[in-house]
A and B are shown apart, each in its own frame.
Chain A
Amino acid sequence: MNPLREGLQRQRVPEPCAMVIFGASGDLAHRKLIPAIYSLAHEGSLPPYFALVAVAVSDFTTESFREDMKKAVDEFSRHKPINEAVWNNLAAGIHYIKGDFKEDSTFQELGALLKRLDAERGTKGNRLFYLSTNPSLFEIIPTQLQANGLTTGAGWRRLVIEKPFGRDLATAQKLNAHLQSIFGESEIYRIDHYLGKETVQNILVLRFANGLFEPIWRNQFIDHVQITVAETLGVGSRAGYYEEAGAVRDMMQNHMMQLLALIAMETPISLKAEQIRNEKVKVLQALRPILAKDVKHSTVRGQYARGYMEGAPVKGYREETNVSPKSVTETYASVKLYIDSWRWSGVPFYLRHGKRLAKKGTEISIFFKRSPDILFNAADSETPVDQNVLTIRVQPDEGVSLRMEAKVPEQQLQIQSVKMDFRFGGSSPEAYERLLLDTMIGDATLFIRHDEAEQSWAFFDPIIDAWRDEDSRHVPQYGAGTWGPKEAEDLLANDGRKWRRL
């Protein structure tokens, strides 16, 4: 431990390293990765000895790539205006290699450059490989790295991959097995940017730093839990990908299951990565499988039809560019699931996600059981009371609110629901800033372990299979700008509940 770090804000400082971004000319690097790296440099969180190598097929030179990235930083960084000195210092370490990922020559050129950077910029042989590419390259690039001697040598090696981690259990297992044949599991960082969000990290603090919540965080006090990820956008330019994926693969199987795991996990014995991931995976292992015969009663899928968003007409999904007019891909999914553990026995979790819904928002709502039917809740009472609801808003308008009952200040007894609201203020670091820094430091807490990804697929595979086997022409439609198909309302109504309105 550096004794001069004691008491300083920047306690976690990465070792010198070279970061290699494959697919660096793509949208993710442009909008998220490079601006995040700049922000880290701006805050002094990057190691002084740092280099960035961009590898892509696009027609850039190092100079033109630096120029392009400067524009990206200018547009997407949260630190504006761009600080020339910080940028110049960072840009001096950025290099571009144009090459085909299937060609050895690309990796030989990369190897030579990395060696040169070790000498010139003191990167000490530490390498962070980031796959910001099409999933079809997730196996090819690591194979090439190994074949060309880039996975061994002095210093550490880490591999970061973006979702999707497979498209079902079998492909996820195959991908994991392949990656683990080249890198150790501790060297593989499966990124889920939701886990980098401040509010998601706050779930652990809310649950385990407040003596108030943990004792009531169980079936004895909680009626049910709702997790909603609502989007107002349609598929836009991602139609090609989305047609193959759908709502479950795109959002529910990964991001939403991570939220579920954090909400439902047992108290870890420490905040170390493995302890937290062990507890998360136990939640996924405890999910009660939804058998094919139950899919109809426990899940709903839908597809947006024409409608209105903010007063303007929008197309239906099947009318979008690059979408088949007969497409059966779901743009909406809701699932009712149970976790078979002592803590959660009998508590339903309702998950919903959709595109072109009425309002954008991601939130988790914990519905507590009503007070007993005495005094205010008695059948003949004129003062019925509502449930307490604790809501964690992940985005936008990040914060936490608690709904409770209070007396209206009048002479007669009237009760009204009131909301206590806490909002995060200021400009929080972007999720990618936190996650990239963690990969450089080697902290895997906010990354998905292979068994988490696989357990999640194991739960969703039967649902996806059952939907495929159904009369696929009948995907329930919902108007754009609504809250999804009627069947989704029925899913809760059948249990005497309703979705929380965002």
Chain B
Amino acid sequence: MNAEPATSAMSREMFHSDGNNGGSQPCLSNLVIYTEEAADEQLIRDTITQYILKHPCRVIVIFSLPRSAISRLDGSFSAHTFNDSTGKSVACDQFTLHVSGSAVKELASAIQPLLVADLPINVWWRGNFLSQRIIVEQMLAFADRFIYDGVNWTNLHFTVMQVDDFFTRHEEKVAFTNFNWARLRPWRECAADFFDAGMFENEIWELNTVRIEYMSMPGMEEGYQFRALLLLSWLAVQLEWVPETGTPGMDDVRLEFKDKRGENVNAELVMLPQSTPTSQGLQRVVMSIHTADRFHAFIVERDHHDRLMILRHDDTHTQRVLRTFPHADSKPSDLLLRELGRRQRSRVFEKSFKLASNLLQMI
């Protein structure tokens, strides 16, 4: 089966119905979205709408029911135009596949003929990919990037080990993106702001205390704890801290590192009670230099309007807001845009994930 004649015909028809004699349909990549939740439909539709305007691509959405007793594969094709605020319109082809039962195992063979040739293939897997390893392995055989969200992970020790194994076996060919990591970007940007040239570039090597506070929705504690652990791992990797010991706890995890000078660095991950029923994610990161005669804290904090603020606190006990950052968290479309806009793998993420995986064994 070759999808191109059908998609070309429909696109031609679409442009003609708009009163044009021709039209252009840019396409930068293939985006394959896999979900087992029918309730995802609205979120996927909203995400595609936002995403396509900036990143035209072929979309293949798969609604899968692997545990169904009926084996079936149905597909439909649609062509859409999306308009942005300036009146520019972008066209997009979309295939929607409904697959159930044992047919799910043959999904990869149904997807491949639908892909636009010679363009990157990004697979966005909604849900737990470890439960569908056969299909994931099939997709990794042709995917360039595999996107997942670790915030839903449970049984963290086991899951992270499995994911680490995936990385190791596929990392030379496939780039992995974890939305749980991607959501840390504003926090990482704000943390970095303190230590640019002309700021506190020397103090960065003297940091000896880190406290990361987060909140979680019930049932997602492990995913949020892992996000906090990823942030700590990132700091440790970039600042060359070597892990020494870890102390597990229900809501409070403590870890000790040695810095480049051989000095101790103490870190803790603290889960706070939810301030509202929907409060979740990182709330505050405090990086400080705490000695007998000196105190200097660099704080990134989320406010009630979901903005990030960076603050400085020092011996004189003054606390000053240096900057506010509009969004602490990002929508899936923003995360996709940011992650897929970059061609290369994120070595920083890969190193941080490896260290987080090791730290998990210590706590």
Complex: A6 Cα to B348 Cα, angstroms: 7
- Min distance, Cβ B60 to any Cβ of chain A, angstroms: 21
Chain B residues with Cβ under 8 A from A422's Cβ?
A: 24, 26
Complex: A42 Cα to B323 Cα, angstroms: 10
B317-337 interface (Cβ within 8 A of A)? 321-326
- A42 close to B326 (CB less than 8 A): yes
| Residue B174 lies at the interface, judged by CB distance under 8 Å to chain A | no
Complex: A48 Cα to B88 Cα, angstroms: 35
Chain A residues with Cβ under 8 A from B204's Cβ?
A: 2-4
Chain A residues with Cβ under 8 A from B349's Cβ?
A: 7
Complex: A48 Cα to B193 Cα, angstroms: 7
Complex: A425 Cα to B90 Cα, angstroms: 8
A14-59 interface (Cβ within 8 A of B)? 15-16, 42, 44, 47-49
- A86 close to B26 (CB less than 8 A): no
Complex: A10 Cα to B193 Cα, angstroms: 10
Q: Which residue of A lies closest to B307 (CB)?
A: A85
- A49 close to B326 (CB less than 8 A): no
| Residue B191 lies at the interface, judged by CB distance under 8 Å to chain A | yes
- B189 close to A10 (CB less than 8 A): yes
- Min distance, Cβ B201 to any Cβ of chain A, angstroms: 6
Q: Which residue of A lies closest to B56 (CB)?
A: A425
| Candidate in A2, A16, A49, A86 with the most chain B CB atoms within 10 angstroms | A2
- A425 close to B88 (CB less than 8 A): yes
Q: Which residue of A lies closest to B198 (CB)?
A: A15
- Min distance, Cβ B260 to any Cβ of chain A, angstroms: 11
| Residue A426 lies at the interface, judged by CB distance under 8 Å to chain B | yes
Residues 325-363 of B, flagged 1 when their CB comes within 8 A of A and 0 if not, give: 110000000000010000000111100000000000000
Q: Which residue of A lies closest to B239 (CB)?
A: A3
Residues 175-215 of B, flagged 1 when their CB comes within 8 A of A and 0 if not, give: 00000000001001111111111110100100000000000
| Residue B238 lies at the interface, judged by CB distance under 8 Å to chain A | yes
| Residue A83 lies at the interface, judged by CB distance under 8 Å to chain B | yes
| Residue A126 lies at the interface, judged by CB distance under 8 Å to chain B | yes
Q: Which residue of A lies closest to B347 (CB)?
A: A7
**Pick the contact of B198 from A3, A9, A16, A421 — CB < 8 Å?**
A16
Contacts A7-B347, A15-B197, A48-B199 hold; do A2 and B192 have CB atoms under 8 A apart? yes
Chain B contributes a number of interface residues (CB within 8 A of A) equal to 42
| Residue A423 lies at the interface, judged by CB distance under 8 Å to chain B | yes
- B198 close to A124 (CB less than 8 A): yes
| Residue B86 lies at the interface, judged by CB distance under 8 Å to chain A | yes
Chain B residues with Cβ under 8 A from A5's Cβ?
A: 192, 196
Contacts A8-B189, A42-B326 hold; do A426 and B196 have CB atoms under 8 A apart? no
Contacts A48-B310, A85-B305, A421-B24 hold; do A4 and B188 have CB atoms under 8 A apart? yes
| Residue B4 lies at the interface, judged by CB distance under 8 Å to chain A | no
- A49 close to B199 (CB less than 8 A): yes
Chain A residues with Cβ under 8 A from B194's Cβ?
A: 48
- A423 close to B24 (CB less than 8 A): yes
- B26 close to A423 (CB less than 8 A): yes
Chain A residues with Cβ under 8 A from B26's Cβ?
A: 422-423, 425
Chain B residues with Cβ under 8 A from A42's Cβ?
A: 326
Chain B residues with Cβ under 8 A from A85's Cβ?
A: 305, 307, 324, 326
| Residue A89 lies at the interface, judged by CB distance under 8 Å to chain B | yes
Chain B residues with Cβ under 8 A from A47's Cβ?
A: 196, 198-199
Complex: A243 Cα to B185 Cα, angstroms: 52
Chain B residues with Cβ under 8 A from A83's Cβ?
A: 326
Chain A residues with Cβ under 8 A from B190's Cβ?
A: 44
Chain A contributes a number of interface residues (CB within 8 A of B) equal to 29
- B323 close to A8 (CB less than 8 A): no
| Residue B84 lies at the interface, judged by CB distance under 8 Å to chain A | yes
- Min distance, Cβ B320 to any Cβ of chain A, angstroms: 9
Complex: A156 Cα to B88 Cα, angstroms: 43
**Pick the contact of A44 from B90, B193, B195, B338 — CB < 8 Å?**
B193
| Residue A13 lies at the interface, judged by CB distance under 8 Å to chain B | yes
Complex: A42 Cα to B326 Cα, angstroms: 7
Q: Which residue of B lies closest to A401 (CB)?
A: B24
**Pick the contact of B54 from A8, A15, A86, A426 — CB < 8 Å?**
A426
**Pick the contact of B53 from A3, A9, A15, A425 — CB < 8 Å?**
A425
| Residue A427 lies at the interface, judged by CB distance under 8 Å to chain B | yes
Chain B residues with Cβ under 8 A from A44's Cβ?
A: 189-190, 193, 323, 325
Complex: A421 Cα to B27 Cα, angstroms: 12
Chain A residues with Cβ under 8 A from B324's Cβ?
A: 85-86, 89
Chain B residues with Cβ under 8 A from A16's Cβ?
A: 198-199
Complex: A9 Cα to B339 Cα, angstroms: 10
- Min distance, Cβ B206 to any Cβ of chain A, angstroms: 14
Chain B residues with Cβ under 8 A from A89's Cβ?
A: 321, 323-324
Q: Which residue of B lies closest to A48 (CB)?
A: B322
- B238 close to A4 (CB less than 8 A): yes
- A8 close to B192 (CB less than 8 A): yes
**Pick the contact of A2 from B86, B201, B338 — CB < 8 Å?**
B201
Complex: A6 Cα to B195 Cα, angstroms: 12
Complex: A220 Cα to B210 Cα, angstroms: 64
Complex: A83 Cα to B84 Cα, angstroms: 21
Q: Which residue of A lies closest to B55 (CB)?
A: A425
- Min distance, Cβ B301 to any Cβ of chain A, angstroms: 13
Complex: A294 Cα to B53 Cα, angstroms: 51
- B188 close to A425 (CB less than 8 A): no
Q: Which residue of B lies closest to A3 (CB)?
A: B238
- Min distance, Cβ A198 to any Cβ of chain B, angstroms: 13
**Pick the contact of A6 from B238, B305, B322 — CB < 8 Å?**
B238
- Min distance, Cβ B345 to any Cβ of chain A, angstroms: 10
- Min distance, Cβ A440 to any Cβ of chain B, angstroms: 11
Complex: A66 Cα to B302 Cα, angstroms: 27
Chain B residues with Cβ under 8 A from A10's Cβ?
A: 189, 192
Question: 5 closest pairs, A vs B, by CB?
Answer: A15-B198, A7-B348, A4-B192, A48-B322, A85-B324
Extra contacts, 16 of them, besides A48-B199, A421-B24 (Cβ < 8 A), are: A2-B201, A3-B238, A4-B191, A5-B196, A13-B193, A13-B196, A16-B199, A47-B196, A48-B193, A48-B310, A49-B198, A49-B199, A85-B324, A425-B84, A425-B88, A425-B90
Q: List 25 A-B contacts (CB under 8 A).
A: A2-B196, A3-B239, A5-B196, A7-B349, A8-B185, A9-B189, A15-B196, A15-B198, A16-B198, A42-B326, A44-B189, A44-B193, A47-B199, A48-B194, A49-B199, A85-B326, A89-B323, A421-B24, A422-B24, A425-B53, A425-B56, A425-B84, A425-B88, A425-B90, A427-B86
Residues on A lying within 8 angstroms of B by beta carbon are 2-10, 13, 15-16, 42, 44, 47-49, 83, 85-86, 89, 124, 126, 421-423, 425-427
Residues on B lying within 8 angstroms of A by beta carbon are 24, 26, 53-56, 84, 86, 88, 90, 185, 188-199, 201, 204, 235, 238-239, 305, 307, 310, 321-326, 338, 346-349
